[in-house]
Structure 1
Amino acid sequence: MLRERLTINKIEELLGAEAQSLLAFDSPKIAKDTLTLPNPNFVDAVFANSDRNNRVLGNLARFYDQGNLGGTGYLSIFPVDQGIEHSAGASFAKNPIYFDPENIVKLAVEAGCNGIASTLGVLGLMSRKYAHKIPFVVKINHNELLTYPNKFDQIMFASVDQAYNMGAAGIGATIYFGSPESARQIIEVSEAFEYAHEKGLFTILWCYLRNSAFKTDKDYHESADLTGQANHLGVTIGADFIKQKLPTNNGGYKMLNTGGPSYGKFDERIYTELSSDHPIDLARYQVVNNYMGKIGLINSGGASGKNDLADAVKTAVINKRAGGSGLIVGRKAFQRPFAEGVKLIQAIQDVYLNEAVTIV
């Protein structure tokens, strides 16, 4: 039975007062014809020229061809690592059925996602039943919050071989760029990504910033300049996709250099010629740092709140119009009843399927 998709009128309604600004924006700082944009032949256009072997290309093709967005060049990924990252009780108390790993996988399948990203435990327990039905992405490192006092560090929970042996299509990992532990994490993840490619698995890197100095008058963990550079470090170590928070501001380098140069390096033109204050320009700067779009930018959906559907659709519109490759949404979906979670994910997919929402 065919489902009713979001129309452009419904998308405009959900965007509310921001509809005109987001849907009619037509003057980006960086033109789209300088970018490699999502398209049905993305694997051939980009990765066939790379050092990725045939097994990686096969898994990438399967990933891009799966689900409701299959064959479009866009991706809808369902991630559930919050049982470790944010504690299982805090994450699943709203909807205890997701303590059961099978319900996690079922939601991804029912919603028509391109793939599911989760922990070794969740995917390993379900691998014989589902790994051939939907691409598995095993998240191999996590931050756990049981150590007292809490610390913020990504440590390895799983290996590439474990992901390969369960039939996974890819692996995922996080680096906390800007943190004291980032140097070790860069080495660990770079080595894991190299071995994953040898085994035929694609790679997704969560390029998150983590440093208390980045949060002052604004939360510069979400600044376009700093997240853009985190993305550029991520593609440098062989990520096939970058997961990043949607930028909400800019000027992180400027803030950190108040009183004189002391942190990093920047050029004033990244604020004047390469970006602006418009949300789509901020997101496009992230795309630019992903080798001008040759590595797909997947923005995260963020925490669950009061206006999840409208917030998710807005994020999808910004990502798509900027030249991004899709969304990775977890809490907004699994912290609500199963059927509602499916509808929310499919509403996001509808943004990418709607031809009226164009790349600017």
Structure 2
Amino acid sequence: MDAYQSIGIRRRLKRFFRRDGRALIFAMDHGFEHGPTDFEEHWEHVNPRIILRKVVRAGIDGVMMLPGLARMAGDEVKPNVGMMIKLTSKTNLRPKGDQLLQSQLGFVEDAVKLGADAIAATVYWGSPQEDAMMRQFAEIASYAHDLGFPVVQFAYPRGPYINEKYGRKEDYRVVMYGARAAVESGADMIKTYWTGSRETFAKVVDAAAGIPVLLSGGAKTDNPVDFLKLVWDVIEAGGAGAVVGRNIFQREDPEPFIKALLRVVHRNEDPEEAAKAEGLL
């Protein structure tokens, strides 16, 4: 018979993933990690309540925030939408030499108090500070799992040795390694980089051995169809969906775009057809 915690982890994961095992999650940690300038193009979205209302209305499966934004605007996240609280981060104000470390800015108890359905933390695999982040993740995951909460790892390979040995940080061998490290360190969900092709991303999914792998959305694409095609490729490669920030909040009217993404993720619709259906073309 399953332990109580195992039931809790499975139930909470279902708040993000639909019956098809896929999810579209909105990310909003950019004001901390990149700075408020990320919102300058559509400044009203710097207010978390405004953008959260839009993404929830559009039908998003889940949202990811840092503890302070969840405290400020978490009541905009309706009960049918999963809420992920990320407990590690960094600012771009740090000296360059310290940019490869994520620091803890909240605790598992905080996420529980805020009503989280999942708890997230980043590990920069290959960083000179990898050891500190491994320990940080282990402590967060151990306690969260004890309480029945799933743990999401943002598995980001970054470091000087990666460039020497493998090439770009998005090289599939590096991303595959990071995904496997996430699995072996106890992640229940993985967010990571695109590797450039369906074939190589499928290897990342294989390396994750059944743990859901979601695309890290990255910088905004000028043409929305280009991003829809990228997410389509992720799904075709066996990925479980995407965690998207800038490609949503840097658009003036993100709701049709979100609805088109949901068509691609959950209905297997062709990206151009999904775009046409939502008036993007």
Asked whether the 8 Å contact 1:128–1:166 carries over to 2, the reply is no
State the superposition RMSD in angstroms: 2.3
In 2 relative to 1, CA 129–108 (structure 1 residues): closer, same or farther, beyond 3 Å? Answer: closer
Partner Cα separation in structure 1 for residue 67 and residue 152 of structure 2: 15
In structure 2, relative to structure 1, the CA distance for the partners of 1:188 and 1:335 (3 Å cut) is same
Name the counterpart of 1:345: 258
The more displaced of 125-134 and 324-333 is: 125-134
Cα distance change on mapping 1:351 and 1:132 into 2, 3 Å: closer
Residue 246 of structure 2: which of 331, 335, 341 is its match?
A: 331
**Counterpart secondary structure, 1:222:** coil
Change (3 A) 1:94 1:313: same
Determine the structure 2 residue equivalent to 1:321.
236
Give structure 2 stretches of 5+ with no counterpart.
271-281
Deviation at 1:53, TM superposition (A): 2.1
Of stretches 107-116 and 184-193 in structure 1, the one that deviates more from structure 2 is: 107-116
Aligned residues: 269
Partner of 2:13: 60
Task: Specify the alignment match of 2:198 in structure 1.
Answer: 280
1:240–1:296 CA contact under 8 A, matched in 2: yes
- Give the letter aligned to residue 45 of structure 2: Y
Q: Name the SS for the 2:123 alignment partner.
A: strand
The CA deviation string for residues 27-80 of structure 1, in whole angstroms up to 9 with x for no partner, is xxxxxxxxxxxxxxxxxxxxx98995222222112222xxxxx33221000001
Partner of 1:183: 131
What is the one-letter code of the residue matched to 1:315?
A: L
The normalised TM-score by structure 1 is 0.70
CA distance 1:353–1:238, shift in 2 (3 Å): same
CA distance 1:127–1:326, shift in 2 (3 Å): same
Task: State the one-letter code of the partner of 1:318.
Answer: D
- Alpha-carbon distance change, 203 to 231 in structure 1, aligned in 2, over 3 angstroms: same
Residue 136 of structure 1: aligned partner: 83
Partner of 1:303: 219
How much has 1:310 moved relative to structure 2?
2.1
**Secondary structure at the residue paired with 1:62?**
coil
Q: How does 1:17-28 map to 2 (within 5 A)?
A: none
How many Å separate the matches in 2 of 1:217 and 1:303? 26
Distance in 1 (alpha carbons) for counterparts of 2:132 and 2:96:
21
Q: 1:119 maps to which residue?
A: 66
SS at match of 2:34: helix
Structure 1 residue runs without a partner (length 5+): 1-47, 65-69, 249-278
* Structure 1 residues 290 and 50: alpha-carbon distance in aligned structure 2, compared to 1, 3 A threshold: farther
Residues 51 and 325 of structure 1, relative CA distance in 2, 3 Å threshold: farther
Distance 1:355 1:315 in 2: 13
Q: So what's the TM-score if we normalise by structure 2?
A: 0.88
3-state SS of the aligned residue for 2:35?
A: helix
